[in-house]
Amino acid sequence: MNIFEKIVNREIPATIVYEDEDTLAFMDIGPIIKGHTLVIPKTCYDPVTETPDDVLAKLIQISKRIAAAQIKGLGADGVNIIQNNGKVAGQEVPHIHFHVIPRFAGDGHHWNWAAKTYDDPAEMERLAAKIREGLTG
């Protein structure tokens, strides 16, 4: 059983901000920015590609409500909604979750978003062709 399932089962404590029959939102214990909230389904799915569409739809709807509440309740100036898949992508807990992170002017956080370039337009087109291929069948 993963740590989020233990939270769902109330085997370990969490500071819950929202709960319904299939979804839970609680405070991240290691916030990127204070107020950082996690939104999870009560049933474990992982990764995003194995998660049913209706579960994903619910998670993003609740994430939207949490984002609105961070703006209204915390006075956030913006919000990041992030979802990691795989260790290489920074995922630690193998139970799908959306991070909803409030952002404040001058909060000092900067993503390491170092934009790269393609060698040439043909390289970008080659990769696009492979993604299109992956969309079929």
Instruction: Kindly name the residue from 36, 95, 97, 110 that is annotated as catalytic.
Output: 97
- Minimum Å gap between C-beta 135 and ligand AMP is 25
- 28 counts as binding ligand AMP under rule CB under 6 A: yes
* Terminal Cα distance for the chain, rounded: 34
Are the C-beta atoms of residues 66 and 37 closer than 8 Å to each other? Answer: yes
Q: Which of 3, 48, 55, 74: binder of ligand AMP (CB under 6 A)?
A: 3
- Pick from 68, 66, 64: which is nearest to 26 by CA? 66
- Pick from 52, 54, 53, 56: which is nearest to 40 by CA? 56
Q: Determine the size of the site formed for ligand AMP (CB under 6 A).
A: 12
- Minimum Å gap between C-beta 91 and ligand AMP is 4
Q: Which of 1, 16, 29, 127: binder of ligand AMP (CB under 6 A)?
A: 29
Site map 72..111 versus ligand AMP, x via CB under 6 A: ------------x-----xxxx------------------
Question: Quick check: is 97 catalytic?
Answer: yes
Cis peptide before 94 (omega within 30 of 0): no
The Cα 31–Cα 95 span in angstroms is 18
Interaction residues for ligand AMP, span 32-51 (CB under 6 A): 38
Exposure string for 72-87, b = 16+ CB within 10 A, e = fewer: eeeebeebeeebbbee
- Minimum Å gap between C-beta 43 and ligand AMP is 17
Opening angle at CA 72, ends 66 and 74, nearest 5: 85
Note the residues at the interface with ligand AMP (CB under 6 A): 3, 12, 14, 28-30, 38, 84, 90-93
